Structure 1
Amino acid sequence: MKNFVTELDPVANEEGGSLLAIFDEYKYLLENDLNGYDLLTYGFNYIQRLPYWNSIKKNFIEMLVFDALIGNQDRHPFNWMVLFYPNDEIRLSPIYDNGASLGFRFEDSYLLKMIENESMMNKYMKNTKSKAGIFEKKQVKVKQLLNYLITEYPKETASIIEKINDFNITEYNNYINSLSFISEYQEKWLLKIIPFRRNKILQWVKEKERKS
């Protein structure tokens, strides 16, 4: 964490999974038969029991929506951390371990197929799942998670959606074009996938707002 934290050093840090495991019901959180909205409701009711939930809530929600943007499907509770500072301040750590994102398993040949096929891109986006920072193995579809966050945490979700809306695509494209260590197809993919996912997220938000 010293590589991430440049301000006052925290006196302690704990992974999310270790923090959630202090409650007796953690085994049920891992092994229940719930899914979809019911699973999200139980999971967030569970995490809200952390005594410092309000200190990390905004950044936690932002992390989940950012994961939706990059297609991160492995944000389990041991992939985030809480930092405890000597002045009694408590923060969510900077996000890390984002490797399971951006079609990380796709070969160049498959990336080319995706780039050239709109229906494949839509299917990839629609089928993206998330562990929501709470579940070790269970997942929910990203669209369902986003709808849940908009409903239950409207203020925090609106904050990160505004950032996604204002995302500087030109600056992003210039950065991707500057990378020398990725293949030609990886470059084309990265130039395509982030604007595509950004637009889909904004579209889903508008759909949710209309229905509300």
Structure 2
Amino acid sequence: MDLPQLTRDLGRETDVSGYDLIHFEPLGSKEKSWIEDPTSGERYLFKVGRPGTGENWAEVLAFGLAKALGVPTAEYQFASFNGKQGVVSPMFFGDDDSLTLGNELLLKVNSRTGEVTVKDQTVTSIVAVLEKIICNKPPSAPSYPNVKTALQFFIGYLMLDCLISNQDRHEENWGMIFTRDKTYHLAPTFDHAASLGFNLSQEAKRERLDTKDKGYAVESFVNKAKSYIHSEGKRLKTIEAFEKIGALDESAMQAWLERLQNLSETDIRTVVDSIPDTQMTQTDKEFATRLLLSNRSRLLGLRKAGEKQ
């Protein structure tokens, strides 16, 4: 990992107003547009974070942390388009490839007929999709020791979710790429704007940072983060989702935790500090850093005794 280069990239802001508007993206709750670089022909998704939230900086910061951990991810950069502030993300599959989202994949393993709901996104159904349909790791992703398959990489996605307190891994926020050579691959992780305390006010963050009430502190806040993954009729917390699916491939789970161990507290602070002050206030940075370090500590508590440093 080239941390200095990564932090330089995270601090960049670009104006893409000269790009051509192709069409608006109907999926999701945020304003999204597909745009095209008239010179290269490369297509990008431009997203505008909702007013009063930190969705733009949360998306870029989550991308930086995923890159630092080696988690295959869609790329995000701060950008402006025709006077609107947002983030831009290059298309992560080729023109001859296709993306199938989790809701469609879950239909193939769900015995119940009809439209899939978030409650159908269970540990069992996700694992069935990963092992019986997708199977292969994300395109162009390197293999790591004990991390080579779709399931093993998805375990890394769930560790990232817990680290950043991402509560939006619903059935349309993961998927499969069908490539031009007719193979199935896990899509890179994408859409992490609902993380890192993105929707808390400055006042609420400061209160949680300064309080002496352990039940209101940041450490208590992160313990409540929930995933959209269910088990036995219960919506799991982000750390529970990582534990339950990780337990199905313990070697992969421990491999990801080792990568997290190697991302030091100093590294995390460096990544957070690389976000421009024009995008993220000091209170935002303090809160995000404490959230990340708290979640890192909780996750590393799952390392096997013989593998802890």
Aligned with 1:47 (options 109, 115, 129)? 129
What is residue 128 of structure 1 aligned with on the other side? 225
Q: What SS class does the counterpart of residue 125 from structure 2 fall into?
A: helix
Change (3 A) 1:107 1:50: same
Aligned with 2:163 (options 69, 74, 83)? 69
Q: How far does residue 89 in structure 1 lie from its aligned partner after superposition?
A: 3.6
Q: Structure 1: how far apart are the matches of 2:112 and 2:129? A: 10
Change (3 A) 1:10 1:102: farther
Change (3 A) 1:60 1:71: same
Write the deviation string for residues 95-127 of structure 1: whole angstroms up to 9, x where unpaired: 111011111221111111222247222322221
Q: What SS class does the counterpart of residue 139 from structure 1 fall into?
A: strand
Q: What SS class does the counterpart of residue 22 from structure 1 fall into?
A: helix
Change (3 A) 1:156 1:10: farther
What is residue 91 of structure 1 aligned with on the other side? 185
Instruction: State whether residues 20 and 50 of structure 1, in contact with CA within 8 Å, keep that contact through their aligned partners in structure 2.
Output: no
Q: Structure 2: how far apart are the matches of 1:175 and 1:95? A: 19
Q: What SS class does the counterpart of residue 104 from structure 1 fall into?
A: coil
What is residue 21 of structure 1 aligned with on the other side? 107
Aligned with 1:145 (options 237, 241, 251)? 241
Instruction: State whether residues 13 and 84 of structure 1, in contact with CA within 8 Å, keep that contact through their aligned partners in structure 2.
Output: yes
Q: Whose strand fraction is larger, Structure 1's or Structure 2's?
A: 2
Aligned with 2:300 (options 188, 202, 209)? 202
Q: How far does residue 48 in structure 1 lie from its aligned partner after superposition?
A: 5.0
Write the deviation string for residues 153-206 of structure 1: whole angstroms up to 9, x where unpaired: 212212211111111432332332232221121121122221121011112445
Q: Percent identity?
A: 19
How many residues in Structure 1 have an aligned counterpart in Structure 2?
A: 200
| 1:164 maps onto 2:260 in alignment | yes
Q: Structure 1: how far apart are the matches of 2:152 and 2:302? A: 20
Q: Structure 2: how far apart are the matches of 1:27 and 1:116? A: 50
Instruction: State whether residues 269 and 289 of structure 2, in contact with CA within 8 Å, keep that contact through their aligned partners in structure 1.
Output: yes
Aligned with 1:107 (options 201, 206, 220)? 201
Instruction: State whether residues 222 and 291 of structure 2, in contact with CA within 8 Å, keep that contact through their aligned partners in structure 1.
Output: no
Counterpart amino acid of residue 114 in structure 1: R
TM-score by length of 1: 0.77
Structure with the bigger RCO (C-alpha within 8 Å, sep 6+) is 1
Q: How far does residue 70 in structure 1 lie from its aligned partner after superposition?
A: 0.5
Counterpart amino acid of residue 187 in structure 1: K
Counterpart amino acid of residue 123 in structure 1: S
Q: How far does residue 150 in structure 1 lie from its aligned partner after superposition?
A: 3.6
Q: How far does residue 26 in structure 1 lie from its aligned partner after superposition?
A: 4.8
Q: Structure 2: how far apart are the matches of 1:176 and 1:113? A: 20
TM-score by length of 2: 0.55
Q: Structure 1: how far apart are the matches of 2:112 and 2:258? A: 34
Counterpart amino acid of residue 175 in structure 1: V
Q: How far does residue 23 in structure 1 lie from its aligned partner after superposition?
A: 4.0
When the two chains are superposed, the root-mean-square deviation of aligned CA atoms in Å is: 3.3
